[in-house]
Amino acid sequence: AQTVTQSQPEMSVQEAETVTLSCTYDTSESDYYLFWYKQPPSRQMILVIRQEAYKQQNATENRFSVNFQKAAKSFSLKISDSQLGDAAMYFCAYRSAYLADYQLIWGAGTKLIIKP
Amino acid sequence: DTAVSQTPKYLVTQMGNDKSIKCEQNLGHDTMYWYKQDSKKFLKIMFSYNNKELIINETVPNRFSPKSPDKAHLNLHINSLELGDSAVYFCASSRDTSGREEQFFGPGTRLTVL
C-alpha cells in the first residue's frame, strides 16, 4: 500500500525568505500523480501544485515550485518570497494513475508559520 | 459562484442525535467525496461517489450513510452521534476519477458532539 510521509510537523520562516517543505512517499507503481494542498486557518483546502510522475520537469506555479526526485520518492515544495498569506497547513498527497485506485493518499501535514 | 458548498458550517449537537450535512457542487463534476479531518488535522477518506454510485466506502461505522440524489449533491447522514464523531467534515469533488484531476473542497463542517 502506498504511504505519504511529511516529517516536519511544523516549519517557520521569515517573511520574504524561502522555505522548503519535505514529502516522501512509498509506492511500487511507476505512474502516479503528486499534489500539494494548502489549508489556511479558514479551513478551505486549495490545490497549490500538481506533478505527474512521468514528467521529469519540476512543476512551478509562481512562487511555488517542487523538487521531484522520482528515484528517491521525494516531492518537496519550495515557497519563495514567503508572504504572510502563505501561513497554513500544507498537505502532500499521492494518487495512483491506475483507475482501480481512486483514493488520494494524504500525508499528516506540515504547519507553516510566517514570521513578520 | 461557490464551487463546492456545504451546510451547515458549524454543527453542535448532543450525543445520540441524528444529523445531516449537505454538499453541493456546481462544477459539473462526476465524482464527489466525503473526508473526515480529526483534531490532529489528519485527513481520512470516508466515501466517494461517481455518477451517483458508491465507489469508495472506507471502514466507517454504518451510522454514517451517504446519499447522492444526483451528481451535484452528496449528503452525509449520521445516526446516533458519538463524542468521537467530533471533527471537521469536508466534501470534495473532481471532474472524474482519473488520477490527475484536482479535487475541489468545500469549506468544511465543524461537528461538535457534546
Which pLDDT tens digit goes with each residue over B50-103? 888 888 777 789 999 999 999 999 999 999 999 999 999 999 999 987 777 889
Spatial separation of the C-alpha atoms in residues B81 and B63, rounded to whole Å: 8
Confidence class of residue B1 from pLDDT cuts 50, 70 and 90? low
Q: Percent of chain A having pLDDT more than 90?
A: 81
Asked if B103's CB is within 8 angstroms of A47's CB, the reply is: yes
Sign of CA dihedral A62, A94, A111, B44: positive
Check pLDDT > 90 for residue A42. no
Check pLDDT > 90 for residue B40. no
> Cα distance from B100 to chain A (closest Cα, Å)?
6
Q: Which of A9-13, A46-50, A60-64, A96-100 has the lowest mean pLDDT?
A: A96-100
Asked if A108's CB is within 8 angstroms of B99's CB, the reply is: no
DSSP labels for A86-111? Answer: G-EEEEEEEEESSTT--PEEE---EE
Asked if B56's CB is within 8 angstroms of A102's CB, the reply is: yes
* pLDDT score at A101: 59
Asked if A98's CB is within 8 angstroms of B99's CB, the reply is: yes
* pLDDT score at A69: 96
Closest of A77, A53, A81, A55 to residue A66, by C-alpha: A77
Closest of A95, A109, A4, A29 to residue B48, by C-alpha: A95
> Cα distance from B67 to chain A (closest Cα, Å)?
19
Whether B55 has its CB under 8 Å from any CB of chain A: the answer is yes
Contacts of A100 (CB under 8 A, 6+ apart): none
Check pLDDT > 90 for residue B113. yes
Q: Using an 8 Å Cβ cutoff, are B68 and B85 in contact?
A: no
